[in-house]
Amino acid sequence: MDLFGMLYLDELSHGLANLSMFPYFDMAHYIVSVMALREQPGVLDVSRVSPLACWFSSMLYCFGGAVLSGIMLAEPPVAPLSNGTSVLLASTIWYLVFYCPMDVVYSCAALLPLRLVLSGMKEVTRTWKVLGGVTQARSKYKDSLLVMIAIGWARGAGGGLISNFEQLVRGVWKPETNELLKMSYPTKVTLMGAVLFALQQTHYLPLQKHHLMLFYTIFIVVNKSRMMLTGSSSSPFSPIESALYKTLFTGHSPYAALTGEVQKAGRETGISNRTACRATTKESKENGSSGQKDSSPVEGAESSLKAKEESEAEDSKKTI
């Protein structure tokens, strides 16, 4: 801990841990979430046809993590909506992003410098959401590491995990976009944070809570800023994921030999079919040419018979 004192990280971590998320950081979270919803295909049409469905989708984007974690802990899913101040703030932001005259709010928030700041503030709230989910699960299931990870993950990335339900509200059904089939970067980084905070809460990770909060927050904010500035959507965990996948999940398959034999037989069948087609074409050409050769003697006999008849006719005329 002397190193933290020398680098003044201990005071910084305590200050970050005591930082209040309401109202500014929560406001940034609502703005970025509603903007992400607006940029989905077809959402603007839904906002004109059914403002109620658009509002409900926005609330799921803003409070999806609390709703999902509440369902998993057998708590009322509408409990997050009991905070009237937060719901009113999120609803006001929803209206301004979608229906502000001349689209001023969305146009200003979409500017890269401002959006970079808002996205960084939203990532800060992710730390508090993951830690809050892990702490909430630990109060009920003290010795269950898996439950703490699951609740922390749901609390921090619930908006993405229930995206299929949110799409149904807008009349869209895309099961292939399920986050469990193909995780996005926010879902992956939230799962990593849930694992780290769960290990810290169960004392498997010898690190103070406020120090872990500082390191995790710096990592997600810096990485999110890098992705936005470079325009890259690739996850920093891709090399590790690829190595683990090749090591653990792509071993020798007992059906590999059978698959190879089937593919080889298919290639041989294709080759034989092409050879047969070529032989048939060649044979048809030869038959056509032989037909032409057979008809030429008949034509010669007919022409000679015709010449003989003409000569006989001329002789008869001379005789007369």
Instruction: Report residue 320 as tokens.
Output: 């007369």
- Residue 146 pLDDT greater than 50, yes or no: yes
Q: What is the pTM of this model?
A: 0.77
User: pLDDT tens digits, residue range 210-267?
Assistant: 999 999 999 999 999 999 999 887 778 888 888 888 888 886 555 444 445 545 555 6
DSSP code at position 18? T
Pull the structure tokens for residue 193.
């944070």
User: CB under 8 Å to 265, separation ≥6 — which residues?
Assistant: none
pLDDT at residue 241, rounded to an integer: 86
pLDDT at 279: 58
Distance, CA of 305 to CA of 310 (rounded, Å): 9
Structure tokens at 186: 């926010």
Domain residue spans of the chain: 19-232, 241-314
Which of 88-92, 185-189, 208-212, 258-262 shows the lowest per-residue confidence on average (mean pLDDT)?
Answer: 258-262
- Residue 64 · residue 162 · CB < 8 Å: yes
**Is residue 130 predicted with pLDDT exceeding 50?**
yes
- Residue at token pair 């059904």: 173
The angle subtended at Cα 130 by Cα 143 and Cα 57, nearest 5°, is 125
pLDDT of residue 304: 56
Point out the least confidently predicted range of 87-91, 161-165, 288-292, 304-308.
Answer: 288-292
Per-residue pLDDT band at 292 (split at 50, 70, 90): very low
When pLDDT is cut at 50, 70 and 90, the band that residue 293 belongs to is very low
pLDDT of residue 128: 96
Query: C-alpha distances in angstroms, 16 versus 158, 217, 239?
Result: 24, 9, 31
Rounded CA gap, 172 and 62, in Å? Answer: 19
